[in-house]
Amino acid sequence: MSFRAIRVLQSVDCILAEDTRLTGILCRRYEIRTRRVSFNEHNSATKIPWICDQLKAGTHFALVSDAGCPGISDPGGPLINQVIAESLPMEVLPGPSSVITAIAGCGFSTNRFIFEGFLPRKGKERNAFLQALKTEERTCILFESPIRLNATLGDLARISDPDRRAVVARELTKIHESWHRGRLSELAHFFEHTPPRGEIVIILEGAVKRKPDLHSTAVEEQITASLHQGTGVKETARLIAAQTGLPANEIYRLALQLKQRP
């Protein structure tokens, strides 16, 4: 909790809180007596127009979240979007973020990373999502609930790679923070016997980019298609080597063999 955040919460006219009781604990801790109003996923549709009208009338609001950062996988997102759409003034106060904490402490590459939020729960959408993660080369951050964690780890190990490194972090930025590191198969086994509690963040190491097998069907089909289009053997070898990272001389020899096939 920064000095600036305390000052703002003390000075605004109203605090918008997911759970006014939980926010009340924070307010009492820092002697903040500002009025609190419930704002969550169940009432946001009706509250957003009212909030925007109040902002236009000069009322100052502060939006807080029960956990994490307002607007990030949070009911505050639609409100922020509407405030921007209506060109109303807004400031962001940096604070605790499980996403940034997760990437900073995961031990994987942080040069390039993605945040995917919560996984789809079931069906084709979930399977397509997991298939995409299989080849994702950037470090990936996911949110998950404790009751679905083990199923998700099992699915990731099955579809992606059981030996892919990952971290399961719990209650980041809060009192009972914990980190568990290992292979996906190891983490799935651990949490099968140790049910977690609290807010969960999964960090997946980026997938290792593998060169295709020279004699795979996909490479042979690429070569054959190129030759059928009238591209010469040498140029075919150069183009496919650039696309796949395979040695051009080996592709050249294979292209000659394929060209001679009836």
**Of 205, 15, 236, whose CA–CA distance to 110 is shortest?**
205
Ramachandran region, residue 234 (left: φ > 0; alpha: ψ -120 to 50; beta: rest): alpha
Long-range (24+ apart) CB contacts under 8 A made by 244-251 are: 244/211, 244/212, 244/219, 245/211, 246/211, 246/212, 246/214, 246/219, 250/214, 251/214, 251/219, 251/223
**Structural domain boundaries in the chain:** 3-85, 98-204, 217-260
Question: With contact defined as beta carbons under 8 Å apart, do 63 and 76 qualify?
Answer: yes
pTM: predicted TM-score of the whole model, two decimal places: 0.71
Q: For residue range 62-113, what is the model confidence (pLDDT) as tens digits? A: 999 887 778 877 889 999 999 999 999 999 998 888 999 999 999 999 999 9
What is the phi/psi pair of residue 204, to 5°? -100, 130
Q: For residue range 203-252, what is the model confidence (pLDDT) as tens digits? A: 999 988 766 677 778 888 889 999 999 999 999 999 988 888 888 999 99
| Candidate CATH numbers 3.30.2290.10, 3.40.605.10, 2.40.40.20, 3.40.1010.10; the one for domain 3-85 | 3.40.1010.10
Q: What homologous superfamily is domain 98-204 in, according to CATH?
A: Tetrapyrrole methylase, C-terminal domain (3.30.950.10)
